[in-house]
Structure formats: C-alpha cells, structure tokens
A and B are shown apart, each in its own frame.
Chain A
Amino acid sequence: MTAAIDIQHLHKSFGRVRALDGLDLRVDAGTVHGFLGPNGAGKSTTIRILLGLLRADAGQVRLLGGDPWADAVALHRRLAYVPGDVELWPNLTGGEAIDLFARLRGGTDPVRRDELCQRFDLDPSKKGRTYSKGNRQKVALIAALASDVELLLLDEPTAGLDPLMEAVFQECIREVKDAGRTVLLSSHILAQVEVLADQISIIRQGRIVETGSLTELRHLTRTSVEAVTDRPADGLANLAGVHGLRTDGDQVRFEVDGDQLAVVVRELGDLGVQGLTVRPPTLEQLLLRHYGDRLVRNGTAEVA
C-alpha cells in the first residue's frame, strides 16, 4: 500500500518550546487514520506542517508523494483541510465562503454542496459573523467534503457540533472512505476515532507513542471483566496477567492483559460462571495508559 502521508523524525520548535520531537507518522492511502492526543501534544503543528504553513526544522515529510513546503500549491489541489477553530469573514455569507473555498481549490460538485448543506442543516445565506462556532465548523466541513480530493486533513473537525451532526459527520466520513479517499482525523473525541479509524496513532509531547489498528492496540492494554460465579473466584488473582481483583459476594471484577484472556475465561468456566461481562478497553483507557503515569505522579485524578 502506498503512503498518503509519510513523516520521519520530524522536529519543530517555536522559540524554546519543542512542539514536535522526532515524530514519525505513516498514513496508508485509502484509510482513515485517527490522530489522537491531548491538547498541546503537537497534532495541529503536524497538520500545519503538512499544509506547508509551517516549515519543518528537521526530518522527512512526504505528502501524496510531494514536499508539503515546496509543492504546497500543487498538493493543495489534491487535499482539503478543516481547522479545529474555523474563522469566517464577517461580511461573507456561509454559502459564499463554501463556494470560495471550492473555487480556490479548483472546482466542486454543486449538487453535492447543496446536499451537504441540507444534511448538515446549514443556512448558507447567513453572514459569517452571525454563525455560532458549530455552524462555522459546518461551513468548513461542507467545503471540504464537497470537494473531489484524495486526502482530507481534519483537525478536530467536530468540536462544537451537536450529537446529531456528529452522526452525519461519521456517515460522511464512511462515504469518503468507501470512495477510496484518505482521511487524517485528529481528535480527542475518542468514540469518534474508535468508530471511524482503521489505524490510530497516539501522539504525546511531540512524539508518536503508539501506532496500529485498534485491534493491535487492544493487545497492549487490559480488558475489564465482571463475572458472577458459583464458587469463590479469589484464586484468579494468582493467574498471570490478572490485575486489581475485587470480590463482592459471588461477584468478581478484575482486569486482565489481552494475551492472557483465553486462560482466564477457561478458569472462569471451571468456577461455574453464571454471568459474564467483558469490556474491550476504550480509547480513554489506551490514552490513560500513556498519560496515566503522569496523572498518578501528580497525584491528581483528572482525566483529559
């Protein structure tokens, strides 16, 4: 598979602040790639380097086979971008802004534009300054989704959208994927990435700390198990890979490492299991695994 985005050892500093510190990222063509990380981890900086708005200090960046700084204009014809915080021109209507973006990019499908306006429930005749944050976001999303491009760069694209619109957005991204296009979806809405992404990269402090498919990443973390058993299940605590076991009458709760799950389930069967709930790790847990250490050290229980 060819890579739509291939970044190696990317460094970028702003003054003394190191925003990217040896970032590696590969996004295969035709996939939806989730780009996860807390605020300030370097997601937007990476995307803005991919757009040629910022110049890399060091490292290799290839975008659709080109150099994002030198070939910016040619590459921009083949991609569309949605920033996380969309600002519009106060005296242009939303419809004018959508048309303008499309024309500056080099053409759009007017039927698809109107259809998207309807699906996202956007009134394109309102002036930019009268739109709420969510509506400004819709303007940028419609402009991007209506364009016939190979790659979508979406930087937290649904911040400010209500759940209904979020569902419309997910539907649209699936259509984009079915059409064989590539999507880089930066987000900290984990449920969204979980549903949409084929591959996920987790960025922290300017580096990718984890990358792979959701299934691959699940091996790296623990599954939560709740069970009701006939016989006391305290003995499970001695099995390899079982953590934090607590019993409450005939109920038992614990977490188990992904690769030890089969052994534990067999054991539960022997104990006469009556009820069983097994939850795969959520992305919150994946993230907590990487940022949790810091939270614990700081003695706070806050979860981003």
Chain B
Amino acid sequence: MREFAYARARSVDAAVALVADNPGARYLGGGTNLVDLMKLGVERPDLLVDVTGLPMHEVTEDGDTLHVGALVRNSDLAAHPLVRERYPVLSQAVLAGASGQLRNVATTGGNLVQRTRCGYFTDATKPCNKRMPGSGCPAIEGEHHNLAILGASDHCVATHPSDLAVALAALDARVGVQDLAGPQEIPLADFYRPVGDRPDLELTVRDGALVTGVALPPLPAGARSAYRKVRERASYAFAIGSVAAVLKVDDGRVRDVRIALGAVASHPWRARVAERALVDAPATPPAFEAAAEAELAAARPLRDNAYKVPLIRNLVVAVLSELVGDR
C-alpha cells in the first residue's frame, strides 16, 4: 500500500473541492472495498478524504419519496422500518450480501461505486483492461465462471458485485451526486456506463463526484417486491445470479413489472425486454418464462458461464411466480 495523506472533510463542498480534479484522491466511507483494493495494490491513492463525518447518515421522507443518505450503513438500511415496510426487495437484497460485520460498516453510497470482484482485476500482477487499460482481458479465455453474460464486450466481462444496487435498479431509484458543478440527481439506470472499449470508465458522473444519497420513489399501489440471490455457498458469498422484481397484478394480468438482474453484467441489469413482454400479459409461469427467454436472447455466455442463462431464467420465473402467489 502506497503512503497517503488523510483528511477529514468538514462539509460536502470541502470534500468535493479536495477530490474533484485530483486523480490521486479518493473518498473514504466505510472503506470495506477501498481499503481491500488498496491492500491489493489495485487502488493507490495519495490522499484519502474521510467523508464519514458529513451529514449523510439519515433516512428521511419527502412526500412519498424516501431519501437514503449515502453514509447510511447497510445494516441500518436493511433494518429501517420504512424500508422493510415499503421496499422489502431492498431490505432482502442488503441482507443477502456480505456479512453482519461488513454490513455494519459498508455504506449505501460506497456499495454503488464498489468495483468488480473479477479475480484478474483484483490481482495487480495480472493484465486487466479495467485496471490497466489496454493490457488485455485474461478472463475471456480464463476463469470466468462467475462473470458476465449480458452487455459485456471484447474488452471486459466483469460483473458488478452489488446486491443492493440490483434492488435499487428495480425500484427506479435516483442517485444523488455532487461535483464542482453542484448537486444533481440521476436515475440509477443512467449512473453506470456500458462497458464498450473503456471498462475502466464505470460511471457516467465526473471523476471526483461524491455520491450523497439515493432517492426511492414509491412503488405502485398494490405492487409487491422481492429479491432472490443464488450463491455457491449458503451465505457470505457473492451472487452467481440474482433477481430483484417489483410486480403488480390485477385480474391475473401484469399491470406493472420491473425486473433487475444481478451478477450477469457490469452493472445491475434492468430486464427491459422482459418487462415489455410482460405488460398486460397473464401473470403465469409460462408468460414469465417467455419474457425471461426474450431477455436472455441477448445473452453471450462464455465457455464456463453458460449455466447462468437457465439459472437466471428459472430465477425470474420463480421470483415472479412467488410475487403472484398468496402469502
């Protein structure tokens, strides 16, 4: 780990002023991903700006929108009564991730900007286009059993490891950010860049922008939501596939549906093809399966991750069917 200076930010403006336009500076929140990557030599900042003292720790209501501060810890978010009541998918997704001790430290904002767990990215001795643009992607021909099947490119097949962000994608959340130009709010769907030929550029916001919070619009009246995650051990593991869904059914027909997929792409994958296929469709397993198949028609699996295609299809059917069923 390279030596670095450490500063505690006294205000959001001051924090942004220190980090913006300084490629060697990073914000320090919970640090559960950043400190890990610094030890691995993947991140080598020369300045850490600790933002944990900033007033971004609250979950607040603003009309029918719920605002989650960027520093709300994962465990507080999952346990928050309003989150559990209104957005079960979000609470479930957070609780499906990491461990109790990590959730106690990891923040909402940090979760959204965490980096891929691809083993070539996290090993500084290997080539990786995301870490070292132009060095190549050994994963495509190498170990990729848990990498992307959707939206990847010849330059990178990494996945985004978050559970929380998958739920936020299904909830049509908006991300609050601030940079030197001031604060703004952008849809989560527009927060991540497609991979393309620059996998090192992951976000659409400017370098040095600070995530300040997340805004959750209300679910349609009568809609239900759920998250289901598949992993290779019973707990404390990253997903090999996950589905977050919001579903509203009337008279046996789908009136509103939002589906987001995890562990399949470089960012939470909003299954818009499947959603379109389901509008006003019967809320039945065959319709869910057809919709999932339609979404997955775009899948480009690699040698060792083709199992994800039927896995995701089955998961979509199972989660939507469960949301239809009586509780």
Chains A and B come from one and the same complex: no
